[in-house]
Amino acid sequence: MRRRLASAGIAGALAVSLAACAQSERGEAGGEGGTFTFGAAGAPDLFDPFYASDGETFRVTRQMFEGLVSFKPGSAEVEPGLAESWESSPDGKTWTFKTRQGVKFHDGTDFNADAVCKNFERWYNQTGAGQNQALSYYWIENFGGFADGQTPSLYEGCQAPDPNTAVVKLTRATSKFPDILGLDPFMIQSPTALEEYQANNVQAQGDSFVYSEYAKSHPTGTGPFTFESYDQGNGTIRLTRNDEYWGEKAKIQNLVFRVIPDETVRKQELEAGGIDGYDLPNPADLAALREAGNNVQVRDPFNIMYLGVTQKNNPKLADLKVRQALAHAVDRETLVKANMPEGAEVAKQFYPKTVDGYADDVQQYDHNPEKAKQLLAEAGASDLTVNFYWPTEVTRPYMPDPRGIFNTVADDLRQVGVTVNPVSRPWNGGYTDEVDNAKADLFLLGWTGDYNSPDNFIGTFFGTTENRFWTQASPWGEDLANQLQAADSEPDEARRNAMYQDINRKLMSEYLPAVPLSHSPPAIVVSDQVEGLQPSPLTAEVFDTVSISG
């Protein structure tokens, strides 16, 4: 023991002189405005947002890039971005954007309507590996196919009649427009830099993809921060303030992301002053983090966790009464109180009430075990047995404690006589594979919205009949998909919202392909020295408003 103290003592003594040195070094690097250091849970895959679909990549790229539209800080509402204004034709197929003047890319070239069209054309003309969903997920999901015409595309063309007007033509109206243009993959990049560093040069190689020089070290946007370096050996990404930024310049001089995969380590780093903030703190730590003087901000919930039902393998689950029995069996109020962080809400339909088309008068399923038993008996399913899947080695913003949530839901189901066979799989070790391949009868899963559109929630879940709920097995599966498609293509907003409300009512009363459980607000924490952070329900914070005191 004494030896340990002695060793540590030597270490401590050596550190005393360094502590002051390290402090001053941080200050120096900060310069005017200082340095904001954020603890990231993972390394960004690359710096070209078009080829990305993961949050840790977007967390970095959204500091450097901007889209034609933006999301209002602190909300999911769209506001002007690189486009000052826009209007659509009555049929919703032609969108005219007035682009902002006097904006320059980080490489000094001009942002204008021509650059907008070049970006659209780049996305649409992807070939080879660039067409793979692993790279172009957001394009495929939102725009469909590419220029080769193998799959229909939402995109038809883009013209720049003058330097400040970009006209984007679509093949059909969609509720997603223009909101999707605020998504990270559709941020506008410098055509000059894209060409100079061969941004489209992505290739499938071995078990993975190889990215371009652009994606590795030359990301060039118009945003408030510019790329400086990525030190993989030390796991740090450094950005600096863009002093030529067209809008209000960032308050901090340097923005550093430190990659710290372990959540406990991130918490300790914040306590030790090594980072100034991190995302998604463990709900169990929130009270302690606050007590220590940190600023824990809870975002508005913009997600859904549901009890998924796969109708493929268990014929009894194809009976609406059985699914309704499951909904009555689960005590969602208790689940939210016992297993969810503060601010969580019981989900009454498949998206939060802040999203358009939310219906207040959908059928409710209160906790009623007797009713559940009765419905099961009526369906001849009193002996119902289910394989109930739940994930390990993961937490998601909508599912902070998978084991606890599973136990609570499974106990509720057992209370009404359902025999539960628990099946746990690591998240990346088969869980999502087996759920998507319809191996589960019941499963826990959820979704965080990308933008404020019902299509981004229920359109993603049930927009085609080939989904993890196996709605193709139901006579209503195709109807539901068609209704969703029709609502998405309705250009009149009021009529569209009414259509979505109608779908939500049917989803909860006639279809019930899954049981909505909860909306859970993800938190973000910064030290007491940080001011001006504006949490986003889309978890899409830009750190230009942040300042460091002390």
Partner 1 sequence: MLRYTVRRLAQMVLVVFALSILLFAWLRSLPGGPVSALLGDRATPESRAALEAQLGLDRPILVQYWSFVSRAVTGDFGTSTGVQRGTPALEVFLQRFPATLELSIMALLLAVAFAIPVGYLAARRRGGWLDNVSIVWSLVGVAVPVFFLAFLLKYVFAVELGWLPASGRQDTGIDATRVTGFFMLDGVLTREWDAAWNAFVHLLLPAVALSTIPFAVIFRITRAAVLDVMDEDYVRTARAKGLTGMVIRRRHVLHNAMLPVVTTIGLQTGALLAGAILTERVFNISGIGQAVALGFERKDFPVLQVVIVSAAMVYVLVNLVVDLSYALIDPRLRTR
Q: Which stretch binds partner 1 (CB under 8 A): 104-112, 225-233, 302-310, 410-418?
A: 225-233
CA pair distance 535, 506, nearest whole angstrom: 34
Q: Which stretch binds partner 1 (CB under 8 A): 229-237, 297-305, 415-423, 538-546?
A: 229-237
Q: Determine, following the binding rule CB under 8 A, whether residue 198 of this chain makes contact with partner 1.
A: no
Measured from the CB atom, the residue of 207 and 361 that comes closer to partner 1 is: 207
Q: Which stretch binds partner 1 (CB under 8 A): 17-25, 71-79, 189-197, 244-252?
A: 17-25
Q: Determine, following the binding rule CB under 8 A, whether residue 284 of this chain makes contact with partner 1.
A: no
Q: Determine, following the binding rule CB under 8 A, whether residue 380 of this chain makes contact with partner 1.
A: no
Q: Which stretch binds partner 1 (CB under 8 A): 115-123, 256-264, 478-486, 492-500?
A: 256-264
Q: Are 130 and 55 in contact (CB under 8 A)?
A: no
Q: Determine, following the binding rule CB under 8 A, whether residue 195 of this chain makes contact with partner 1.
A: no
In the set 198, 268, 364, 385, which binds partner 1 (CB under 8 A)? 268
Q: Determine, following the binding rule CB under 8 A, whether residue 169 of this chain makes contact with partner 1.
A: no
CA distances from 46 to 53, 61, 122 (A): 10, 9, 18
In the set 105, 177, 209, 214, which binds partner 1 (CB under 8 A)? 209
CA distances from 128 to 27, 132, 211, 362, 439 (A): 47, 7, 13, 45, 32
Shortest distance, position 396 Cβ to partner 1, whole Å: 8
| Alpha carbon of residue 90 to chain centroid | 31
Q: Determine, following the binding rule CB under 8 A, whether residue 184 of this chain makes contact with partner 1.
A: no
Concatenated DSSP letters of 447-508: EE-SSS-HIIIIIHHHSSS-STT-GGGSTTHHHHHHHHHHHHT---HHHHHHHHHHHHHHII
In the set 32, 90, 102, 205, which binds partner 1 (CB under 8 A)? 205
Measured from the CB atom, the residue of 10 and 287 that comes closer to partner 1 is: 10
Q: Are 30 and 509 in contact (CB under 8 A)?
A: no
Shortest distance, position 52 Cβ to partner 1, whole Å: 10
Shortest distance, position 175 Cβ to partner 1, whole Å: 19
Measured from the CB atom, the residue of 235 and 491 that comes closer to partner 1 is: 235
Measured from the CB atom, the residue of 83 and 440 that comes closer to partner 1 is: 440
In this structure, the dihedral spanned by the alpha carbons of residues 447, 452, 455 and 459, taken in order and rounded to 10 degrees, is: 10
- Return contacts of 330-335, CB within 8 angstroms, 24+ apart: 330/367, 330/409, 330/412, 330/413, 330/515, 330/517, 331/367, 331/408, 331/412, 332/367, 332/517, 332/518, 333/367, 334/367, 334/408, 335/405, 335/408, 335/409, 335/412, 335/517, 335/518
Number of residues lying near partner 1 (CB under 8 A): 77
Shortest distance, position 453 Cβ to partner 1, whole Å: 16
For the four alpha carbons of 474, 477, 480 and 486, in that order, the dihedral sign comes to: negative
Measured from the CB atom, the residue of 442 and 499 that comes closer to partner 1 is: 442
CA distances from 20 to 32, 108, 270 (A): 20, 39, 18
Residues facing residue 258 across a β-bridge:
39, 236
Q: Which stretch binds partner 1 (CB under 8 A): 1-9, 149-157, 322-330, 376-384?
A: 1-9
CA-nearest of 72, 57, 404 to 219 is 57
Shortest distance, position 59 Cβ to partner 1, whole Å: 15
In the set 94, 236, 395, 485, which binds partner 1 (CB under 8 A)? 236
Q: Determine, following the binding rule CB under 8 A, whether residue 12 of this chain makes contact with partner 1.
A: yes
Which residues, 413 to 442, sit near partner 1 by CB under 8 A?
Answer: 425-434, 436-437
Q: Determine, following the binding rule CB under 8 A, whether residue 161 of this chain makes contact with partner 1.
A: no
Binding mask 23-52 for partner 1 (x = CB under 8 A): --xx-xxx----x-x-----x-xx------
Measured from the CB atom, the residue of 18 and 338 that comes closer to partner 1 is: 18
In the set 173, 181, 256, 376, which binds partner 1 (CB under 8 A)? 256
Binding mask 50-69 for partner 1 (x = CB under 8 A): ---xx---------------
Q: Which stretch binds partner 1 (CB under 8 A): 5-13, 336-344, 345-353, 501-509?
A: 5-13
CA pair distance 49, 214, nearest whole angstrom: 11
Where in 310-409 does DSSP place strands (E)? Answer: 345-346, 385-392
Shortest distance, position 7 Cβ to partner 1, whole Å: 5
Structure tokens at 205: 């190689």
Structure tokens at 443: 């499963």
Measured from the CB atom, the residue of 256 and 481 that comes closer to partner 1 is: 256
Which residues, 509 to 528, sit near partner 1 by CB under 8 A?
Answer: none
Q: Determine, following the binding rule CB under 8 A, whether residue 312 of this chain makes contact with partner 1.
A: no
Residues facing residue 3 across a β-bridge:
none
Length of the chain: 550
Report cis status (omega within 30 of 0) of the bond before 178.
Answer: yes
CA pair distance 300, 298, nearest whole angstrom: 7
Which helix (H) or strand (E) element contains residue 25?
Answer: helix 2-30
Which residues, 94 to 153, sit near partner 1 by CB under 8 A?
Answer: 129, 132-134, 137, 141
In the set 58, 139, 211, 511, which binds partner 1 (CB under 8 A)? 211
Measured from the CB atom, the residue of 105 and 302 that comes closer to partner 1 is: 302
Q: Determine, following the binding rule CB under 8 A, whether residue 15 of this chain makes contact with partner 1.
A: yes
Q: Determine, following the binding rule CB under 8 A, whether residue 378 of this chain makes contact with partner 1.
A: no
Shortest distance, position 307 Cβ to partner 1, whole Å: 17
238 backbone dihedrals φ, ψ, rounded to 5° = -115, 130
Q: Are 205 and 134 in contact (CB under 8 A)?
A: no
What's the longest Cα–Cα distance across the chain? 81
